[in-house]
A = this chain, B = another copy of it.
Amino acid sequence: MKQLDVCLTPDLLHLHQLNNVVVVVADIFRATSCMVTGLAYGVGSITPVATVEECKALQEKGYFAAAERNAMKVEGFDLDNSPFSYMSERLIGSHIAMTTTNGTLSIAKAKSAAVKVLIGAFLNLGALVNELRSEQYDVLVLCAGWKGRPNLEDTLFAGALAEALKDEFILVEDAALMAQRLYQQGRGNLLNFVANSSHVRRLQRLGIQKDISYSLQTDLYDVVPVLRGSRLVAMH
């Protein structure tokens, strides 16, 4: 049987073996929710980069550029890190470069060794579950966390995947089990369950409550973003 493992933060990725593993990166608030939304709305590709400088360089080559640090848009860039910004008509068919505090760093760490990197969010949970069922490989859910620390919302997403795939995958280690149990506890009302979390408090101070509610909705889109070379594109 295939195995499903969970890495609660990129700072623990060194403990995981990535050869022949499909890595699903999740940064629910808000990088991967933005990526899923953008590709669902017709964005051509999203290139995740680790640094603001790389993002700037791609902007100069004609990319739309999105740079977020500490949950705020960096001066001089085209897009912020709100999923609603990725629904714009001007972005259809366009190429976007994106850097965020946690999410794009996780993608950069994963892509060196994984057989495939997919992007996960509650927004595309069902589509992702179908895709992972059809893959022959083991799965690692890499939670982006917050500056190296685990966070509640990404862990809950990992738990949602574990719960959905429990009949086809073995949950190998306790991190997967803990994520699954937290999801079982919280799934009746995710918004309420995350209300006290550190990141939600941080985002609420910035007035982006609507991004939070939006990003906790399940199965809005059928798209599965996959990393091809340096670009995330919609699968198929």
Q: Which residues of A contact B (CB under 8 A)?
A: 8-9, 11-12, 14-15, 146-152, 155, 172-175, 177-178, 181-182, 185-186, 196-199
How far does the alpha carbon of A199 sit from the alpha carbon of B175 in the complex, in Å?
12
Copies in the complex: 2
Of the listed residues A9, A174, A196, the one surrounded by the most CB atoms of chain B closer than 10 A to its CB is A174
Q: Which chain B positions have C-beta within 8 A of A14?
A: 11, 148
Nearest CB in chain B to that of A200: its residue: B174
Nearest CB in chain B to that of A15: its residue: B148
How far does the alpha carbon of A34 sit from the alpha carbon of B149 in the complex, in Å?
30
Nearest CB in chain B to that of A9: its residue: B12
> B146, B150, B173, B185: which contacts A185 (Cβ < 8 A)?
B185
How far does the alpha carbon of A13 sit from the alpha carbon of B196 in the complex, in Å?
23
10 contacts between A and B (CB under 8 A): A8-B150, A15-B148, A149-B174, A152-B174, A155-B174, A174-B197, A177-B197, A177-B198, A181-B182, A185-B185
